[in-house]
């Protein structure tokens, strides 16, 4: 329950409108109850054929309650949903802010399907917390108390009967429904996340699964998981039905009890005919409002699970500890100095253990090593997606040096760019993809960056130029073009230090050589760190070091024809398949 309270507190912007919705809801439901009572009194009193003036107040009241009920119900729906969507926007913003901080370094174990389930399914499902739980619960509570007081004023014993049956309908029935559905609701949200993860796997790997003959097997797994979800939701519906049944029985008991005690009061002369009609018909309207709480309670355990999953994201520890105030980086050319670095991904083992490296300003250093050596972990630590557990990473300048932990991550990454092995390309235009690096950049600056990445002639050949759509994940581009687009984005951002993390991964040999040549040529004069396992592509770098098992081993020489054992060189000056004295076999 604490998670639900926390989520409720997140919605600051909708509290005023939620209060307005509660007031309008109380007015609308109260008008419905009053309409039932006044109508009963009017019909019974009119049967006694009094002078018509005796009925005028009741006639006007019926009209007023009938009109106000519709108007106030509309206001309740409008204000309630507006409040819910405003609160939902607050929750979404909070979750997005946390995910933006966590995903680069703190949520590697969370699949895309699980993230989608938490951000879409869990967050959107919390809309019911305000619309179906808080609002109707508050309205039903206020109206129920007021109705019991009114009944007690007419006939005290009838007030006791109504209070007892309302407790059954508004407390016992929801508690039973919630308890019956708890087990099923606890599994729905996690299973929905697993289902979405499996669906994304099938969609992404449909071609490979079809070729391997495993597509039907994966679809059968989806069917089984879907069946499990349906059964859980059916159990939830059954629990809601049980709660509704109790509420209906309670409503019937209220009417029977009112009839019984009302008839006895008439025999004693304590109650008149019109008042008797009121105490018999009033419970109908009251229980209609309170009886709706049982189905809501059946969904409450699921909302609690969703709230807990959202809170888990909000409470997840930051992968980096941001300083209260950001230190300023040195002016002019800058380099890096890594001292005794130990680092690993949050929740995982230590990957880097005692890394020392100095990178002078304006030089290009290549870090080579096999997969699993810790190269990507080192890149993440350099750009502050994760923090070292020991050691330091220092930005060095002509006049001073600054520890990266004293610089806010966003500020550091303005001067330290990271080009990954699979730079994400958004399903938009070339211009929009590049404008991410500098939203204020004009077409001239964008074309200059594309030219620097050797894409100028390619873009010029396109009929729509910069307005060309690149497709989902850049499917309209080749692998080399996607990598160059990532380079152009980095050039537009204009960082003083550039980190390339496996920039030629998934490319064929000829394309890899061309891309690596263009990367080094476009970043000439900057401080560049190239992280790769391909030592045959490093001609032109100033220094090569090897990383194995989380440690830097003896510095290696720049690969040349003398220390490359391979076939005849290609036109680019590097062999297409070779073995280096430092990096092991080419992959």
The CATH number of the domain holding residue 546 is 3.40.50.300
Same domain, yes or no: 298 and 353: no
CB neighbour burial string for 289-324, b if at least 16 within 10 angstroms, e if fewer:
bbbbbbbbbbbbbbbbbbbbbbbebbebeebbebee
- When divided into structural domains, the chain yields a total of 2
Residue 160 DSSP class? H
- Which of 503, 502, 496 lies closest to 519 in space, CA to CA? 503
Q: How many CB atoms lie within 10 A of CB 554?
A: 7
* Residue pair 246/176 in contact by the 8 Å Cβ criterion: yes
Structure tokens of 468?
């060309």
Same domain, yes or no: 373 and 309: no
With a pLDDT cut of 70, the percent of the chain lying above it is 90
User: Where does residue 332 fall: left (phi above 0), alpha (psi -120 to 50 degrees), or beta otherwise?
Assistant: left
Helix (H, G, I), strand (E, B) or coil at 77: helix
254, 287, 315 - which closes a domain: 315
Residue at 386 is within a domain: yes
In tens digits, the chain (587 residues) has pLDDT values of: 577 777 777 767 777 888 899 999 999 999 999 999 999 999 988 988 888 888 899 899 999 999 999 999 999 999 988 888 888 888 888 887 877 777 666 555 555 556 666 667 677 777 778 888 888 889 999 999 999 999 999 999 999 999 999 999 989 998 888 888 877 777 776 777 778 778 877 887 888 888 878 888 888 888 888 888 888 888 888 888 888 899 999 999 999 999 999 999 988 888 888 899 998 888 988 998 898 888 888 878 878 877 887 887 777 777 788 888 888 888 888 899 999 888 888 777 888 888 888 889 989 888 888 877 788 888 888 888 888 888 889 999 878 889 888 888 888 888 888 887 777 888 888 888 888 888 888 888 888 888 888 888 888 888 888 888 888 777 888 877 887 888 888 888 888 898 888 877 777 788 778 878 877 888 888 899 988 888 777 877 888 888 877 777 755 544 443 333 333 333 333 333 333 333 333 32
Residue at 326 is within a domain: no
Residue at 329 is within a domain: no
CA–CA separation, 357 and 376 (whole Å) = 16
Same domain, yes or no: 268 and 417: no
Residue at 404 is within a domain: yes
* C-alpha separations of 480 from 413, 421, 424, 517 in Å: 25, 11, 13, 12
258, 284, 315 - which closes a domain: 315
Structure tokens of 475?
């499917």
* C-alpha separations of 63 from 30, 39, 57 in Å: 14, 10, 10
Same domain, yes or no: 290 and 386: no
Domain with 557 in it:
335-585
Same domain, yes or no: 367 and 255: no
Same domain, yes or no: 184 and 299: yes
Q: pLDDT by residue (tens digit) across 392-435? A: 899 998 788 898 888 888 888 888 888 877 778 888 888 888 88
259, 280, 315 - which closes a domain: 315
Same domain, yes or no: 466 and 508: yes
């Amino acid at each position: 329950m604490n998670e639900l309270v926390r989520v409720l507190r997140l919605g600051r912007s909708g509290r005023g409108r939620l209060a307005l919705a509660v007031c309008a809801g109380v007015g609308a439901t109260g008008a419905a109850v009053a309409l039932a009572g006044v109508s009963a009194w009017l019909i019974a009193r009119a049967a006694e054929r009094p002078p018509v003036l005796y009925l005028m107040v009741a006639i006007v009241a019926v009209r007023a309650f009938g009109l106000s009920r519709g108007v106030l119900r509309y206001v309740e729906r409008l204000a309630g949903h507006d409040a819910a969507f405003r609160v939902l926007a607050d929750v979404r913003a909070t979750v997005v802010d946390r995910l933006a901080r966590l995903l680069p370094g703190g949520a590697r174990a969370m699949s895309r399907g699980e993230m989608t389930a938490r951000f879409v399914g869990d967050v959107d499902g919390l809309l019911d917390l305000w619309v179906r739980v808080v609002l109707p619960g508050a309205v039903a509570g206020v109206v129920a108390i007021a109705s019991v007081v009114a009944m007690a004023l007419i006939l005290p014993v009838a007030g006791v009967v109504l209070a007892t049956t309302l407790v059954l309908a508004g407390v016992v029935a929801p508690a039973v429904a919630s308890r019956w559905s708890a087990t099923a609701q606890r599994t729905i949200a996690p299973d929905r996340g697993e289902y979405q993860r499996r669906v994304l796997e099938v969609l992404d790997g449909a071609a490979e699964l079809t070729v391997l003959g495993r597509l039907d097997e994966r679809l059968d797994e989806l069917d089984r998981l879907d069946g499990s979800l349906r059964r859980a939701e059916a159990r939830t519906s059954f629990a809601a039905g049980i709660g509704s049944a109790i509420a209906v029985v309670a409503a019937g008991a209220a009417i029977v009890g009112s009839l019984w005690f009302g008839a006895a009061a008439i025999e004693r002369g304590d109650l008149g005919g019109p008042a008797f009609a009121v105490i018999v018909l009033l419970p109908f309207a009251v229980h209609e409002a309170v009886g709706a709480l049982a189905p809501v309670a059946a969904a409450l355990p699921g909302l609690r699970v969703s709230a807990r999953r959202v809170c888990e994201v909000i409470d997840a520890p930051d992968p980096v500890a941001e300083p209260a105030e950001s230190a300023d980086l040195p002016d002019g050319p800058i380099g890096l100095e890594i001292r005794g670095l130990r680092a690993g991904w949050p929740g995982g083992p230590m990957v880097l253990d005692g890394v020392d490296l100095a990178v002078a300003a304006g030089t290009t250093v290549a870090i080579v090593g096999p997969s699993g050596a810790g190269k990507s972990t080192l890149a993440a630590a350099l750009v502050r997606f994760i923090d070292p557990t020991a050691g330091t990473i220092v930005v060095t300048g002509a006049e001073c040096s600054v520890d990266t932990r004293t610089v806010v991550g966003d500020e550091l990454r303005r001067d330290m760019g990271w080009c990954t092995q699979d730079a994400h390309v958004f399903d938009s235009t070339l211009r929009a993809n590049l404008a991410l690096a500098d939203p204020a950049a004009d077409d001239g600056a964008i074309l200059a960056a594309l030219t620097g990445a050797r894409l100028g002639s390619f873009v010029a050949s396109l009929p729509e130029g910069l307005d060309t759509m690149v497709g989902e994940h850049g499917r309209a581009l080749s692998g080399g073009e996607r990598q160059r687009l990532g380079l152009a984005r980095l050039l537009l951002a204009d960082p003083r230090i550039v980190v390339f993390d496996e920039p030629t991964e998934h490319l064929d040999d000829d394309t890899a050589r061309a891309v690596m040549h263009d990367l080094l040529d476009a970043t000439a004069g900057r401080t560049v760190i190239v992280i790769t396992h391909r030592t045959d592509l490093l001609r032109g770098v100033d220094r090569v070091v090897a990383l194995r098992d989380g440690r830097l081993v003896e510095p290696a020489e720049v690969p040349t024809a003398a220390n490359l054992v391979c076939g005849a060189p290609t036109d680019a000056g590097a062999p297409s398949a070779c073995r280096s004295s430092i990096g092991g076999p080419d992959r």
